[in-house]
Structure 1
Amino acid sequence: MATLSYTGTPATPALAQQRRHLAHHALGTDIDLTLFGSDSDHYLAEARTLIDQYEDRLTVNRVTSEVMAINHAAGKQPVQVSAATYTLVKQAVTLSQQQFGFNALIGPLVKLWRIGFDNAQVPSESAINDRLPLIDPNQVVCNDADLSVYLAKPGMELDLGGIAKGYIADRIQDYWEAYGQRAGMINLGGNLLMVGDSPLHADGLWRVGIQDPTTPRGTAIASVAIGACSAVTSGIYERHLEFNGKSYHHILDSQTGYPRQNDLESVTIFSKASIDGEIETTRLFFAGQPVPGWAIDRPDIYGAVFVTKQRELQVVGLPADSVTLLDPSFTLI
């Protein structure tokens, strides 16, 4: 997880002192919204409303939503949804079909393992094998003509949890910028989006902390100085299950039905759009290491920081002098 640092001398003290903040709980997490230099709390309140509206449409943790309507109709008939929901679902399905780790049809496996909930379990191999045919993204039909989505097999379930926060963060930024808000921070439970130049530092750069995977949230092992961007992390430390002396994390592999096994504790992506950060953290976490030529043709993807189980940090794409190691028990390579 990435965190924000507030150290340093504000570049424009008058602006920095005009900090407006709103805390909210939605999307299953604690949310913090901050604006600098704004003359009203209205833009924070409207951002909160946007979050709640998108959650109403996209959640799978309630009986009713647009996504749940699709799931309830699996194997029966297509379901028409709003244009925004359809666009996100189609993007998620298209990405899932590329088989790089992201899978928006992972719902049946997620509900089988229940990692992060009180009734989490290690399922039997037969139960896992029963679910694997239900997480095939090629069994989804998206119809542009009538904005409908059809899950071909009964028991299939869409779950947009791996992409929705990034999409929503980007929509909040769109709204703020449309109304001339010049600087702010969007924190959707660790999915960070920094808007505009930072008023907290003379160089106008934000300071983003890389979370220590072995300690509670908020402990940074390194700091990245960077301009306006999104910072999204995939890691194994937030949600996990301890059973018979073994730890199982929540990032499930569609090929095996079990948590993805590799040498990584986490990977953090810095990008222009938060939804791209969501996608690329999954891609690199499943790769387990830097990928040759990764994002070389993507100027909107700024770089990545890998944290390994050997307590090493590997930086890809970011300027070397932008990363400061804060914990000497880790090695910057």
Structure 2
Amino acid sequence: MKRLIIFLLAVLLLVASGCAKKTTRYQAEFLSLFDTVTTVVGYSESKEEFTALAGRIKDKLTEYHRLFDIYHSYEGVNNIKTINDNAGKAPVKVGRELISMLLFAKKQYYATDGKTNIALGPVLAIWHEYREKGISDPLGAEIPPRELLEQAAGHTDIGGIIIDTKASTVYLSDPGMRLDVGAVAKGYAAERTARYFEDEGVSSLLLSVGGNVRAIGGKPGKNGMEPWNIGIKNPDKESKDTELCSVLISGYSVVSSGSYERYYTVDGTRYNHIIDPSTLMPASHFKDVTIICRDSGIADALSTAVFIMPLEMGKKFIEGIDGVEALWVTGTGELVYSKGFKSFLKVDNEK
């Protein structure tokens, strides 16, 4: 599960740089979006001012939540569920925002050589069903039959997603295809929301959508604007150290994909929720992969893709992309950094 712990400084009153007015740190949390916890942290001159901004952020994220939902319908909204329900039947008229997200997701599919595939829905649905049954009935837990997975994989060709930008429609040409945008949705929503409020003049804010962290600028400190301090969770729940390290970011995103939250156990083996499209099985190279880059949507997509890749392949892949850094936690707990990752580390937390 893509999840980070946000370290928030205990200092409540700070003097904004270049301004005599005092600002206070405020935090808001929402539990109703993307089946996870959304956190907004900011500094404001009054609680009322921050509450109003946090409410508007929630409203914007709610729009994306409804658009990207694969399980629920909403009155007056054609969303991913609507598209899936009409697979092989008819094109669905959708808004420009949903068109943009799907075009972004298809671009990430090709950028990651198919590792991040929103058309993998039929395979993911099978694993989801078996995982839920295994969690509720551990003694009866099973992995899906291979033939069932292979049959579902026959309906995952991303070429079957027909997007007509002029008509603003989306059509799944294969009746058996189902979209699942879980590998990009939260990061994309966080990025688009951050950009919206940046355009409105917000210059300092920290947004975390289920651990998909996006910083707008830095935060006010005693010596002017300072980076946000973001803690990366230790995937080893039995360790006395709950965090691996802290990174300092201003205007960047931090996103993790891990095998330690959403999983179930069959005959002593853990099976996580991140499925390798080439094997149709959960990827097992790492405990966690963290990506740092400017765009939260890209970070979300890459964290999934790199989690699936073997280490050397992933390192070569990341080194070929400007402005992207990664941290791998191997199965033995070893930390492996891309060349520029350590430049983000808070020195006293480096391990």
TM-score, normalised relative to structure 2? 0.84
Unaligned runs of 5+ in 2: 17-21, 135-141
Which is worse superposed, 316-325 or 20-29? 316-325
Higher helix proportion? 2
One-letter amino acid matched to 1:76: K
One-letter amino acid matched to 2:28: L
Matching residue within 213, 219, 223 for 2:242: 219
Which is worse superposed, 40-49 or 200-209? 200-209
One-letter amino acid matched to 1:318: G
2:148 aligned with 1:141? no
2:72 aligned with 1:62? yes
CA offsets 1:23-80 (integer angstroms, 9 cap, x no match): 1111010111122135512111011011111111110021455111111111122212
One-letter amino acid matched to 1:42: A
User: Contact between 1:106 and 1:159, CA under 8 Å: does it hold in 2?
Assistant: yes
Matching residue within 177, 184, 191 for 2:198: 177
Which is worse superposed, 209-218 or 184-193? 209-218
One-letter amino acid matched to 2:216: V
Determine the C-alpha separation between the residues in 1 that align with 2:155 and 2:308.
21
Identity %: 23
CA offsets 1:275-312 (integer angstroms, 9 cap, x no match): 1111221232122324326355523x3x1111111211
Determine the C-alpha separation between the residues in 1 that align with 2:148 and 2:98.
31
Matching residue within 306, 309, 319 for 2:331: 309
Determine the C-alpha separation between the residues in 1 that align with 2:321 and 2:288.
24
CA offsets 1:210-245 (integer angstroms, 9 cap, x no match): 211012899212122333311001111120011111
* Aligned match of 1:154: 175
Determine the C-alpha separation between the residues in 2 that align with 1:309 and 1:201.
41
Determine the C-alpha separation between the residues in 2 that align with 1:265 and 1:297.
23
User: Contact between 2:215 and 2:249, CA under 8 Å: does it hold in 1?
Assistant: no
User: Contact between 1:115 and 1:250, CA under 8 Å: does it hold in 2?
Assistant: no
SS at match of 1:155: coil
Two-structure CA RMSD over aligned residues (Å):
2.7
The structural deviation recorded for 1:178 is: 2.7
Matching residue within 213, 216, 221 for 1:192: 213
Determine the C-alpha separation between the residues in 2 that align with 1:14 and 1:109.
52
TM-score, normalised relative to structure 1? 0.88
CA offsets 1:164-208 (integer angstroms, 9 cap, x no match): 111111122123223322211101111111221133575712222
Question: 1:1-333 to 2 correspondence within 5 Å?
Answer: 1-7=3-9, 13-15=14-16, 17-25=23-31, 26-37=33-44, 39=46, 40=49, 41-63=51-73, 65-97=78-110, 99-114=113-128, 118-120=132-134, 122-199=143-220, 204-215=226-237, 219-262=242-285, 264-289=286-311, 290-292=314-316, 294-296=318-320, 298-299=322-323, 301=324, 303-318=325-340, 320=342, 322-323=344-345, 332=351
Determine the C-alpha separation between the residues in 1 that align with 2:291 and 2:176.
33
Determine the C-alpha separation between the residues in 1 that align with 2:184 and 2:316.
24
Tell me the matched-pair count.
325
User: Contact between 2:315 and 2:338, CA under 8 Å: does it hold in 1?
Assistant: no
Unaligned runs of 5+ in 1: none
Determine the C-alpha separation between the residues in 2 that align with 1:6 and 1:201.
15
Determine the C-alpha separation between the residues in 1 that align with 2:252 and 2:204.
12
User: Contact between 1:71 and 1:156, CA under 8 Å: does it hold in 2?
Assistant: yes
CA offsets 1:86-138 (integer angstroms, 9 cap, x no match): 11112213332453410101211121111796335521111111101111112
The structural deviation recorded for 1:261 is: 2.9
1:111–1:182: structure 2 CA closer, same or farther, 3 Å change rule? same
Determine the C-alpha separation between the residues in 2 that align with 1:271 and 1:3.
18
1:88–1:321: structure 2 CA closer, same or farther, 3 Å change rule? closer
